[in-house]
Structure 1
Amino acid sequence: MNWISNYVRPRINSIFSRREVPDNLWSKCDDCGAMLFHREIRDNLNVCTNCGHHMAITPRDRFETLFDGGVFAEIDVPEPVADPLHFRDQKKYPDRMRSAQKSTGEKEAMLVAHGEIGRTPIVAAAQDFSFMGGSMGMYVGNAIVAAAEAAVEHRCPLILFSAAGGARMQEGILSLMQMPRTTVAVQMLKEAGLPYIVVLTHPTTGGVTASYAMLGDVQIAEPNALICFAGPRVIEQTIREKLPEGFQRAEYLLEHGMLDRVTPRKELRGELITITRMLMGLPPAIHGDLPSPDETSTSSAPAEDSETK
């Protein structure tokens, strides 16, 4: 044994040996294929810094960037019957649910919360496409009803972020019944004179599009989001014709009058603050961390000073 064996060889091995790199450090853009560092893409709200492609974002991450200071309170949603039809395909329905809950860390496909954006109280509901395709089942119906009831109770707007592949087949007709249920929930808001704003994200399809996702007072979509009832591939196979470029994408629907705005994700919070305050008859938001000054306190302050003098 000499100094080459004891020192030089281990040193060379340590320099050239392969180091294990965690798999979750990099993400690949679905559109342009660019490799993006996880912190970089998280800071950019899951929007590709190379091409601007809007990738999926979980409801919890969305709420952390939407609400003031990332602070919000979750609203309880009544639990439906676990497996009403005893449905089974390749797996039992309860097994699929447990698998989705384990992979997403969420209880179901929709998260409902209450908080403030720009010092404006709101109720927000967001679907999680990674949870069984964001499919609309009885829980999602209960979530929207609970969100509408909370908005009426707090006298504040309801903002809903849709992302779904349609109704949940494992619940059959009970899933389709959520379409009229959620329509009635939206009507509750309209009768109370409260704004209902929908942000359609990629993809929003099926029975979700045919119900609560297209009933907003203001319809906003993220860029290039697929918004439809039947998908373009199904339509092409049915009519045996080639569809126009960009058919059923957000920009196409905006041009044809089905949407009010197409807004990038990084600009969405500011736009929602402006719209909610406008619809609630409130003055424009004051930029900064302090709340708007109270008109009564500011108007009475000079009078008190004059009395003391």
Structure 2
Amino acid sequence: MLKDLFKKQRKYATITMPSEQAKREIPEGIMQKCPKCGTIMYAKELEKNLKVCKACGYHFSMSAPERICATVDEGRFFEYDVDMLSEDPLGFPDYRKKLKSDMEKTNLNEAVVTGEGTIGGYPAVIGVMDSRFRMGSMGSVVGEKIARAAERAVTKRYPFILFSASGGARMQEGVLSLMQMAKTSAALERMHREKVLFISVLTNPTTGGVSASFASLGDINIAEPGALIGFAGRRVIEQTVRQKLPEDFQTAEFLLKHGQLDMVVPRTELREMLIRLLDLHSYGREHE
């Protein structure tokens, strides 16, 4: 009897592993694991929180349709240049095949979606890059769509908000992709001369020729927390300067600290921040 009174309690609960049949019955993609903190969460809950981990604040990638849905007022987006498609000017091996594969996978025609919509009731021209399509690389069509969006912003006197997510210039188009840096920069310079607001939002990742051109030319430059932003990769830079770089090098926080960004805004607060900026801009336009 006394032995039963002082019976040792188990420190750990018994864990029952699901059977193979149970595993098969769980729909694929119902759970997602945070790559930063390892927290496992329901995919639907993650989507409700705009794909931001509630445990550590890690920002998962968003597709262009998801970003547009999270940013613009419901039903207030009208897409530009839907039918523009990339060609294969250099006859690069398998380029056409890869473009077709990305079109089927993403249901997009290119790595950027441009159009106009309202945010908090304020009209704006909006561009969103999608890293699922050729890693968001900038080819001739991407550059042309962004330049045309900037021109429409000038014509309509609407602010231009561009979300960048890119691995840089598209190697399959060679020098033609590099020319897009000059084209987009020239279009944004016209916006500057015409005093039309350009807000650049840099997301993870924004690198290469995109970071070296239009992504860094905003009147206001905003980034999401933890976003990788830079031109060349860490290893290349370390080999060139022969120095060990800081751990947070090329992060949004590092760039903010060194004056390359105006603010770092969590995704869950970004729409409200954009509305505030558009409101301030609208007030300023009324009193010019």
Residues 220 and 81 (structure 1 numbering): CA distance in 2 closer, same or farther, change over 3 Å? Answer: closer
Work out which of the residue numbers 35, 45, 54 in structure 2 matches 1:30. 35
Whether the 8 Å contact between 1:75 and 1:113 is mirrored in structure 2 is: yes
1:75 maps to which residue? 80
2:13 maps to which residue? none
**1:248 Cα deviation after fit:** 1.1
Unaligned runs of 5+ in 1: 1-14, 284-309
96-105 vs 166-175, greater mean Cα deviation: 96-105
1:153 maps to which residue? 155
2:190 maps to which residue? 188
Which AA in structure 1 matches 2:35?
D
1:291 maps to which residue? none
Which has the higher Rg, Structure 1 or Structure 2? 1
> For each residue in 1:167-210, what CA deviation from the matched residue of structure 2 results, as whole angstroms up to 9, or x when unmatched?
00000000000000000110121122110000000111000011
**Identity score, percent:** 48
> For each residue in 1:231-278, what CA deviation from the matched residue of structure 2 results, as whole angstroms up to 9, or x when unmatched?
212212222321112011111111111110000001000111111221
Q: How does 1:51-130 map to 2 (within 5 A)?
A: 51-76=56-81, 79=84, 82-88=87-93, 92-130=94-132
2:248 maps to which residue? 246
Question: Match of 1:156, SS?
Answer: coil
User: How many residue pairs end up in the alignment?
Assistant: 266
Residues 21 and 123 (structure 1 numbering): CA distance in 2 closer, same or farther, change over 3 Å? Answer: same
Once residues 79 and 17 of structure 1 are traced to their aligned partners in structure 2, the CA distance between those partners, rounded to angstroms, is 47
Work out which of the residue numbers 45, 52, 60 in structure 1 matches 2:50. 45
Q: Does 1:163 align with 2:165?
A: yes
Once residues 184 and 169 of structure 1 are traced to their aligned partners in structure 2, the CA distance between those partners, rounded to angstroms, is 22
Residues 218 and 16 (structure 1 numbering): CA distance in 2 closer, same or farther, change over 3 Å? Answer: closer
Once residues 182 and 265 of structure 1 are traced to their aligned partners in structure 2, the CA distance between those partners, rounded to angstroms, is 26
Once residues 17 and 146 of structure 1 are traced to their aligned partners in structure 2, the CA distance between those partners, rounded to angstroms, is 53
Whether the 8 Å contact between 1:112 and 1:143 is mirrored in structure 2 is: yes
Which AA in structure 2 matches 1:87?
F
**1:130 Cα deviation after fit:** 1.2
Whether the 8 Å contact between 1:101 and 1:131 is mirrored in structure 2 is: yes
1:175 maps to which residue? 177
Residues 259 and 16 (structure 1 numbering): CA distance in 2 closer, same or farther, change over 3 Å? Answer: closer
Question: Match of 1:68, SS?
Answer: coil
| TM-score of the aligned structures, taking structure 1 as reference length | 0.82
Once residues 210 and 126 of structure 2 are traced to their aligned partners in structure 1, the CA distance between those partners, rounded to angstroms, is 17
Once residues 174 and 161 of structure 1 are traced to their aligned partners in structure 2, the CA distance between those partners, rounded to angstroms, is 22
Residues 81 and 48 (structure 1 numbering): CA distance in 2 closer, same or farther, change over 3 Å? Answer: closer
Once residues 234 and 247 of structure 1 are traced to their aligned partners in structure 2, the CA distance between those partners, rounded to angstroms, is 13
Once residues 135 and 35 of structure 1 are traced to their aligned partners in structure 2, the CA distance between those partners, rounded to angstroms, is 31
Whether the 8 Å contact between 1:77 and 1:142 is mirrored in structure 2 is: no
| TM-score of the aligned structures, taking structure 2 as reference length | 0.88
Once residues 55 and 98 of structure 1 are traced to their aligned partners in structure 2, the CA distance between those partners, rounded to angstroms, is 25
Once residues 104 and 76 of structure 1 are traced to their aligned partners in structure 2, the CA distance between those partners, rounded to angstroms, is 17
1:205 maps to which residue? 207
The CA RMSD over aligned residues, in Å, is: 1.8
> For each residue in 1:74-114, what CA deviation from the matched residue of structure 2 results, as whole angstroms up to 9, or x when unmatched?
112563551111001xxx10001011111111111000121
Question: Match of 1:36, SS?
Answer: strand
Which AA in structure 2 matches 1:224?
G
Question: Match of 2:74, SS?
Answer: helix
